[in-house]
Structure 1
């Protein structure tokens, strides 16, 4: 598979080397020729100097045969414009853009352009670890799909579910257990996995259901608690 990367900073160079090690071909675009020093010699051979939204530059990088495009430069505008050109002009199937401004990230997610909002993600992750469960700080899920339909979030296992199976919980709650954390290890549980005290569940759910799920588990307060509606 051929992949084009815009931006040859630490992230772009790491992506390029990792993707090549996995057997893919990679081309890296950057305006600064000096940035290509981060690339090993074999990867630097496919480096292209120029702007990521320039069609001629993209063509030189092999965008017409690319299966994926990652825009990870240090400019939000460059990343999102380049991502749109890759998708809308060249029809690249898998496109992602790194966005620093959280407000922009939300807008482009709603437009169906997958983004990685590094500032918001980093801040939320740190806050979750510093003050777990604190009201007003946990403002969103760990992950949300571009359409906003499905989310991934974490919740401690409620005491009443200790010694029950994953399949029992999934039958009772509108969730799927993606993985769980147990004693510092991550597990991919089967349906017959017995849940233990101290487990932290990472669950997939519909956006419309997640607040109720987290309220039931005690991970998040819900406005429904004040109305008396069963969750």
Structure 2
């Protein structure tokens, strides 16, 4: 997924880091170059200096190819203008805006822009709005961004009887639970996975891509 994030403050920088770490193509925009200091040294995305609602800046950020746009600057006006441009002019599928004024928030919800009030705004809230439930990082363990993330993935079509042990790798990932037909349970050692299951794993942050590949490979091995 190509995601453009407008604003590299506390939430914007954390969101950019989370999305980039999970394998997404991320560009984060801010008018203040100093804001990019919040990004980690190993940030896999691209910081872009510019005005978040300026169309030339948005074009440079790859807005035409974006599947997601998040406006998280400190100002309602900037967030509204940027979000409406992403939604109405560029047709971005998933648009989320931080709106402090609840009256404005209600209006833009009716226009198809997901809004989150300041008091509710967390990285997890944004990820829930952007990513499908069957393939997303749902949080992290440890201080700051955390070295271990909680990852939910869908078992691909065609899998029948894959051992749950295939998804637990010492030092990299642990399968914590499996959701099947609306019920979630801790798997037993001899448990088997089926197509349509959702697996919930604790994963070392730098091992997310490897775990995604391992789940996808279950279909090949079936």
* TM-score, normalisation: structure 2: 0.53
Matched, 1:6 2:6: yes
Distance in 2 separating the partners of 1:19 and 1:116: 18
Between Structure 1 and Structure 2, whose CA radius of gyration is higher? 1
Distance in 1 separating the partners of 2:33 and 2:16: 16
Q: State the 1:110 CA deviation.
A: 2.0
1:34 corresponds in structure 2 to 34
Residues 88-131 of structure 1: CA deviation (Å, up to 9, x unaligned)? 11111110101111121112112221101123x48xxxxxxxxx
Equivalent residues of 1:26, 1:43 under 8 A apart: no
Gapped regions of structure 2 (runs ≥ 5): 122-128, 130-178, 185-222
Equivalent residues of 2:20, 2:44 under 8 A apart: no
Q: State the 1:61 CA deviation.
A: 0.9
Greater RCO, 1 or 2 (C-alpha within 8 Å, sep 6+): 2
Aligned length: 130
Higher strand share: 2
Gapped regions of structure 1 (runs ≥ 5): 123-144, 146-187, 194-231
Three-state SS of the structure 1 residue aligned to 2:4 is strand
Alignment of 1:107-146 (within 5 A): 107-119=107-119, 121=120
1:169 corresponds in structure 2 to none
Residues 200-228 of structure 1: CA deviation (Å, up to 9, x unaligned)? xxxxxxxxxxxxxxxxxxxxxxxxxxxxx
Equivalent residues of 1:76, 1:101 under 8 A apart: yes
Alignment of 1:52-201 (within 5 A): 52-119=52-119, 121=120
Distance in 1 separating the partners of 2:53 and 2:64: 14
Tell me how large the CA RMSD over aligned residues is.
2.7
Q: State the 1:40 CA deviation.
A: 2.0
Three-state SS of the structure 1 residue aligned to 2:51 is coil
Three-state SS of the structure 2 residue aligned to 1:26 is strand
